[in-house]
Structure 1
Amino acid sequence: MLYRASQVAAGTSAGVRRLGELVEEFTHRVLDPAFPCVFAPRPVLEDTLLVGLAEAGAAAEAADLLAEAAGAISKEPEQIVVIFADLPETGSLPAEREFSAEVLRLLRRLDRYDWPEATPLDPEDPRWVFWFEGVDFFFNFSTPGHRERRSRNLGPAWTAVVQSRSSFDTFAGADHRARLRIRARLAEYDAVPPHTALGSYGDPGNREAHQYFLGDGVDPGRPLVRVEDLRPPERDE
């Protein structure tokens, strides 16, 4: 279940208490004046953020919460949702990356809608976008395993920050000065240089799927999912 961030502070059940702890740490990190993303504090301060916890750390739980997120974003295109999961191998970057990929593969199998014809299946295509339940998603996967790339570590649990790709562009797409400012702040905040995969949608060299999960060091980046993972799911006639 998704909650408004302010709703979990006084939670009494174990799951809501844990979610409250994670939200508190998430809030602490993104409100740090040094945090690179200048857009991150806004939904926190305005209490528009929706949050949820996959308590058992299962991809199916995360997928259910992301289905709720799709419904919320369909109603409010600028909605930002944060999903947490306590994974068995917390702090293992390879395991956290594979969990992120598993969630995307599962979403594709569960999707009830066809992707727009103009959207290519190949994540190496600069026009590629991940669609789910009629929403053009952008994913930011952040994990405890990110130690050098601190900007991708938002607390002690696997964290997915999701929003509509088109709303992401509304905030930052045309503001190149903001992007340059964020890159400069990343260079100061992280122990490694800004990742080479970071770019602007629509640029010929941009690859959205490389940005979802960044490595912890200097690497060329690679997509979480392959073309074969993105084939249209079989549906009953």
Structure 2
Amino acid sequence: MFDVYTLAAQLVGGVILILLANAVSIKSRGVPKTFQKILSTLIDFIQTIFGSKQNDQQGIPLTRAQVTAAFPEGTWQRNAYEDYKAVLLDEELVFPCVYATKGFKSDDQLYLFIDSDDLSDTRHIRTIAKGLSIYLPQARQLGPNTSLVLLAKQNEVNSRTVEEYNTLFWELLNGLAKLDEKPWPSDTPRDIDTDRWCFCFGGEQFFTVIQTPAHQVRRTRYAPGVTMVMQPKWIFDILFSTDAKRAGALAKVRALLAKYDPIPLSPEMKNYGDEGSRESKQYYLLDENVPASCPYERLSDSEVIAS
């Protein structure tokens, strides 16, 4: 039966939410930052009480337009998205990965959101696995600069170290491997400590980059909230279709890196498959030029396939 009371509650909640979102987005000097934070907290609370449509989008990758339509200014999701956008579109300090900027501008990217930076949380692992499963079938139609971008809720105070985030990152990859519904590609080794290993999901190879709020020296790996970009590796076959294109692109990116990061280029940044290269060590870079540890010799087998 149609529940008029539920509808009324949702309408009231929606009106309150819009009013608060408009208030928190005010840029006037007369609005203290502490007041804006209080309003932002109230928005999150009301969304929980009144059943915001955001809950229905958990695990569903969103386009730019869908993100801005779903999340009003002042919500934590919108804040995370706007911070990500600001870095890519900064014209003074150009972000070195120009392909990420191109992907954003051409709307090739899709976005996922999680409500904490604990990447080992099984809720988040399931959300990301679902997002990848939805993203992959449409990825090739999105464009040559496509990627799935994960944005986590930013902490008021960050208490985790760079090394702790590294551990959480690998727990996430291992958790995703357990939920993979497709076999690991036969042409990709399972042993991580090899020059041909890379992360795989849904039968596809991925290159993965993560940024954290704990990074302070390596600016390219810093973000106010945990941000992870997952790129299907077939995009590199398109972007670097010739040796000349690959060499030119790498030279451009490395020149921008030298300007962007106050730390020298990591010695781990080598070409996939080259002798001595380890793509696993490129995914997560520390704030110093020493390789991050990997807690796994190989990721777990799929529990979905095994069952």
Shorter-chain-normalised TM-score: which range?
0.7 to 0.9
Q: Does structure 2 retain, via aligned residues, the 8 Å contact 1:6–1:47? A: no
Distance of 1:184 and 1:230 partners within structure 2: 34
What is the rounded CA distance, in whole Å, between the counterparts of 2:248 and 2:302 in structure 1? 40
**Structure 2 length as normaliser, TM-score?**
0.69
Is 1:28 equivalent to 2:99 in the alignment? no
Amino acid at match of 1:26: Y
1:194 to 262, 265, 275: 265
| CA distance in 1 between partners of 2:237 and 2:219 (Å) | 24
Amino acid at match of 1:224: C
C-alpha distance in structure 2 between counterparts of 1:107 and 1:23, whole Å? 23
Aligned to 1:46: 106
- Tell me the CA shift for residue 150 of structure 1: 0.4
Query: Which residue does 1:62 correspond to in 2?
Result: 124
Distance 1:102 1:231 in 2: 10
Q: CA 1:119/1:40 → structure 2, altered by over 3 Å: closer, same or farther? A: same
Q: Does 1:82 align with 2:149?
A: yes
Distance in 2 (CA, whole Å) between partners of 1:190 and 1:24 is: 22
CA distance in 2, matches of 1:17, 1:168: 34
The gaps in structure 1 that reach 5 residues or longer are: none
Q: Please state how far the C-alpha of 1:117 moved relative to its aligned partner.
A: 2.2
Please give the alpha-carbon distance, in whole angstroms, between the structure 2 residues aligned to 1:161 and 1:127: 20
After TM superposition, list the pairs within 5 Å mapping 1:1-237 onto structure 2: 1-12=60-71, 17-33=75-91, 34-58=94-118, 59-67=121-129, 68-77=131-140, 78=144, 79-86=146-153, 89=158, 92-153=161-222, 155-172=223-240, 174=243, 175-219=246-290, 221-222=291-292, 224-227=294-297, 229-234=298-303, 235-236=305-306
Q: Which runs of 5+ in 2 are unaligned?
A: 1-59
Q: Name whichever of 191-200 and 130-139 sits farther off.
A: 130-139
Task: Note if contact 2:88-2:95 (Cα within 8 Å) is conserved in structure 1.
Answer: yes
Question: Which has the larger Rg?
Answer: 2
* 1:122-162: CA deviation from partner (whole Å, max 9, x where unpaired): 21211112111222121101111111110111x31111101
- Given that 1:138 and 1:162 are in contact with CA atoms closer than 8 Å, whether structure 2 keeps it comes out as yes
- 1:225, CA displacement in angstroms? 4.7
Matching residue's letter, 1:230: L
Shift of 1:208: 0.9
- How many residues were matched structurally? 233
**Following the alignment from structure 1 to structure 2, what is the Cα–Cα distance between the partners of residues 108 and 22?**
26
CA distance in 1, matches of 2:240, 2:85: 21
Q: Could you tell me whether the CA contact under 8 Å between 2:167 and 2:295 is conserved in 1?
A: no
How many Å separate the matches in 2 of 1:231 and 1:12?
35
Question: How big is the alpha-carbon RMSD for the aligned residues of Structure 1 and Structure 2?
Answer: 2.4
The 8 Å contact of residues 90 and 157 in structure 1, kept in 2 or not, is answered as no
| Equivalent in the alignment of 2:20 | none
SS of 2:205's equivalent?
strand
Q: Alpha-carbon deviation of 1:87? A: 6.9
SS, match of residue 3 in structure 1 = coil
Q: Deviations over 1:16-73 (max 9, x none)?
A: 9211111111111112232111212112111232111111444333323432124312
Q: Distance in 1 between matches of 2:197 and 2:295?
A: 12
CA contact (8 A) 1:121 1:231 kept: no
Q: Matched residues in 1 for 2:153 and 2:164: separation?
A: 12
Deviation at 1:170, TM superposition (A): 2.7
